[in-house]
Chain A
Amino acid sequence: MPEYNIIGKSVQRIDGPRKVSGEAQYAADLDIPGALCLKVLRSKVAHALLQGIDTREALKVPGVVGIFTHVDIPGINSYGIIVKDQPALTNRVRFKGDAIALVAAEDEASANKALRLIKVSLQDLSPIYDIREAMREDAPAIHETGNILSVYKVKKGDVESAFKQADVVIPGSYTTQRVEHCYIETEAGVAYMDNDMLVIKAGTQNPHYDRRDVARVLGLAMNKLRIIQTTTGGGFGGKLDISVQCFLGLAALKLGRPVKIAYDRQESFVATGKRHPFFIDYITAANREGKLLAVKVRIVGDTGAYASYGPATLLRAAVHATGPYEVPNVDIEAFCVYTNNPFSGAMRGFGTPQMAFACESQLDLVAQAVNISPLEIRRRNIFQKGSLTATQQKLDVSVGIGKTLEAAWEKALQVMPGLGDENK
């Protein structure tokens, strides 16, 4: 009997045939006769208190069936996978793009017309776009809990004495940018009542989380809410948050009619999470053989107006900050900070691509300083079986970094003829 029949075989994707034939139905492809079109009124200012909202003119537009604001939320008006700080429809604006009102209309043109006729009066608050300004003690608080949302620490050994004993101590300050997931399918969905069950179909990375937070916002029992993931055109972390789900549920529940929403590309950019911009101060200490002795790392991540996956991103960044290397002394602190920028959340790697940029740049600088090759410094410091990580976890099994390093180098020597000079 062969060891495995199916594991390790490149069987064809089970969803492949429907995708190549065009039959696969993504959320925007669902057609429910009579479904109302939903549109969201979004803030054009970054920080303000909502003083009043007048929907009377907008409601007179023929075809408009309903307009909802924060007062119409039947449950608790806040959601979030880690911190419940984001309102479905807000009465306090925290970024340019925050959702203020939801229009349901027979057709898109009427919905758009109504959006233009809603009158919002706002009391401006001073916005904070700069993360260092947001961290100052006297900075106005964007959320009641203050602007520093979380601080994570990873500490081991004695970094300061290691710095004194080290042959080289190299500081570097790194910044990384805000990035959009840019899945080719934008957010979309439909909702309808099936007897007393609210059904929401949408592209999502986490239907069971969606159920928890939509039930909370709508004040529904979890077993009266059914979330069905439609074929999803990419996520990369951007479809982990609630996007269209609460809007769909609210309108279908209140109006008792099927509803549909689809973000265009601009709304997808404006309304959904981004990769965190990081500000990283990284000091690396090593001896003259290039053996790492200590790292001291300070990380600040701009999570924007809402937490989303920010705390998880900064925690993961802190835990992974050393890279896959043995470092006996570490002092790492990571701060997740609110600003009035668009919110940042999960994106492929959760803070580790940012840290890899800093950590791997540092490693090359150390190699240069002690006059060994980039390959050699990595060989001398990578995790082995039995290594201890920065959090003192012992790596006992499946530690493949030695193999990936040697295999990648061997292949690179074959396919990159100019590389030979590197290994001197």
Chain B
Amino acid sequence: MAQFHLEMKVNGKPIALDIDPGLRLLDVLRDILHLTGTKEGCGEGECGACSVILDDELVDSCLILAPQAHGRGVITIEGLALNGELDPYQQAFLEVGAVQCGYCTPGMILAARVLLNHNPKPSKQDIAKAISGNLCRCTGYAKIVQGIEIAASLKETKAGVSRA
């Protein structure tokens, strides 16, 4: 099969690869780039465990063929911490106990990030809607929603500080 020359930015880093064009973005991230923080849960875009940020949108990387990411920017969970320092979303999830088995956590945190980029002051209902494509079987979502609320307030405080 003819190879596809894929160029994209992953977590800010330019990547160039020759790949089988039938690969899903999820396969490239996990199997070739070894970014295994992105999980596979269902393979049909229902559970959101494979969520990544493609440009500014949250996508299920199991439903995206890798060539569709050509020339675009991908952010995975590995791209959030800066020099080993967890970002506010990750901190907030830890603080409120939003993590149990942790399998949905990377996708949830990325969903939260996309939500807060578009809507810095979300209501509980906005948050529930934004993460309704990300399934969690452990937590009942309450602490995840709370974590996102805290992340929003942390971000706001930080933004306030940097403006001042």
Q: Which residue of the partner chain, among B36, B76, B95, B103, contacts A184 with CB atoms under 8 Å? A: B103
The reply on A343 being an interface residue by CB < 8 A is: no
Count how many chain A residues have C-beta atoms less than 8 Å from C-beta atoms of the other chain.
30
Q: Which residue of the partner chain, among A17, A22, A184, A233, contacts B77 with CB atoms under 8 Å? A: A22
Q: Which residue of the partner chain, among B44, B105, B135, B137, contacts A19 with CB atoms under 8 Å? A: B105
Are B41 and A184 in touch, CB under 8 angstroms?
A: yes
Which secondary structure dominates where chain B touches chain A?
A: loop
Q: Which residue of the partner chain, among B78, B97, B104, contacts A21 with CB atoms under 8 Å? A: B78
Stretch from B65-73, B86-94, B156-164 contacting the other chain: B86-94
The reply on A389 being an interface residue by CB < 8 A is: no
Note all chain A residues with C-beta closer than 8 A to B80: 21
Cα–Cα, bound, A17→B77 (Å): 12
Given A23-B37, A25-B36, A265-B41, A185:B94 Cβ within 8 A: no
Q: Smallest CB–CB gap between B99 and chain A, Å?
A: 5
Closest B residue by C-beta to A185: B103
The reply on A10 being an interface residue by CB < 8 A is: yes
Are B37 and A231 in touch, CB under 8 angstroms?
A: no
Closest B residue by C-beta to A235: B101
Cα–Cα, bound, A96→B50 (Å): 29
Stretch from A26-34, A51-59, A293-301 contacting the other chain: A26-34
**Leading 7 A-B pairs by shortest Cβ distance:** A22-B37, A19-B102, A233-B103, A22-B77, A29-B36, A20-B90, A234-B101
Count how many chain B residues have C-beta atoms less than 8 Å from C-beta atoms of the other chain.
38
Q: How does the 8 Å CB contact mask read for A174-211 relative to B, with 1 for contact and 0 for none? A: 00000001111110000000000000000000000000
Are A15 and B103 in touch, CB under 8 angstroms?
A: no
Q: How does the 8 Å CB contact mask read for A257-300 relative to B, with 1 for contact and 0 for none? A: 00000001100000000000000000000000000000000000
The reply on A398 being an interface residue by CB < 8 A is: no
Note all chain A residues with C-beta closer than 8 A to B41: 184-186, 265
Are A21 and B34 in touch, CB under 8 angstroms?
A: no
Note all chain B residues with C-beta closer than 8 A to A31: 34, 36
The reply on A424 being an interface residue by CB < 8 A is: no
22 A-B pairs within 8 Å (CB atoms) are namely: A12-B97, A13-B94, A15-B102, A16-B102, A20-B77, A20-B90, A21-B37, A21-B80, A22-B35, A22-B76, A22-B77, A26-B39, A29-B36, A31-B34, A31-B36, A183-B103, A184-B39, A185-B101, A185-B103, A231-B102, A264-B43, A265-B42
Cα–Cα, bound, A231→B39 (Å): 13
Among B34, B49, B102, B138: residue with most chain A CB under 10 A:
B102
Closest B residue by C-beta to A264: B43
Closest A residue by C-beta to B108: A20
Cα–Cα, bound, A204→B135 (Å): 21
Closest B residue by C-beta to A188: B40
